Amino acid sequence: MTNLEKEYEPFLYPAKEERIEILKSQPLLSKLYLTTNDSVKSVNTSEDFIKENDFTVWRNRFNNKVRRLEFSYVLLRFYYSRGIPDTNWAENTDDGSTEFFPFLKDKAIRTNKFLFDYSVENFFYHYVSAADIVYHLLNVYYKLAIVSGTKFNKKVLDKLKGRDVAKVLEHFENTIRSFRKDRNDFAHNFSFNEIDLRSKREIKEGREVITICSYYFSTSSQTLIRIEDSIVHFSELIDLINKELSK
């Protein structure tokens, strides 16, 4: 890390009024919370009690995750609105080299981008985590008795085949497949908001092709569009689940 990258302006935090306005701009966030209070109509047996207890615990865990997701969204929108001019993120220099992120020379913009990226990463973590908790909730609600472990989500989905919720879940998972990959890349690889200059090997027409310093970068505006779309997809899933669990 260069000295330039270490220098930031004092971090700003959105005021209460600003947070309220950001939340008003994305009303679907409020639709992500699970509103079902009970998993059984009446508790008559020990199994009913266990189911009700575990369902409540997982529901609260889910809603806490959504609150963190919501908070991450507020922050990333706040720092995005302060200005991140990253459309021209790579420029050719007079000596024939490429300069990445020339706009980072400005300390205020550098601070905005750092905090935006940090909030985006948190959003991805909490989004995928909340999506995974849905499977635990359904496992308890339908008494599937699937033990947590390898391919837990798939096992739950397989057991739910034939129900409306399974179709919606499958559609949701197909929609967020790239979201799950990017969350994994945040944790273990290069993320889409970093420049990856590693060499790449691939087979084309039976021959190995090695590419040096090929790179890709997702701008802040492109990232925000993906996040807004992801909220739409999640809200559709949770709307159906709230209805399903209220039956």
- Can you give the residue range of the structural domain that contains 57? 3-245
The reply to whether the predicted model has a pTM over 0.75 is yes
Report the pLDDT value the prediction gives residue 211, as an integer from 0 to 100.
76
Whole-number average pLDDT of the chain: 88
Distance of alpha carbon 121 from alpha carbon 127, whole angstroms: 10
> How many domains does the chain divide into?
1
- Other CB atoms closer than 10 Å to residue 90's CB: what's the count? 13
For residue 213, is pLDDT > 70?
no
- The pLDDT of 87-96, averaged and rounded, is 79
pLDDT of residue 124: 97
Q: How confident is the model at residue 95 (pLDDT cuts 50, 70, 90)?
A: confident
Secondary structure (DSSP) of 26-81 = -GGGGGGS-----SSS---SHHHHHHHHHHHHHHHHHHHHHHHHHHHHHHHHHHHH
Residues 62, 18 contacting (CB under 8 angstroms): no
CA distances from 98 to 4, 84, 200, 246 (A): 18, 20, 19, 57
Q: pLDDT of 196-210, one tens digit each?
A: 777 777 888 888 887
pLDDT value of position 1: 43
Check: CB of residue 57 under 8 Å from CB of residue 191.
Answer: no
What percent of the chain shows pLDDT beyond 90? Answer: 57
Tell me: the pLDDT tens digits for 7-28?
Answer: 777 788 999 999 999 999 999 9
Residue type present at position 153? N
Chain segment 53-81, per-residue pLDDT in tens: 889 999 999 999 999 999 999 999 999 99
Lookup: tokens for 240: 């159906």
**149, 104 Cβ separation under 8 angstroms:** no
Q: State the pLDDT at residue 35.
A: 87
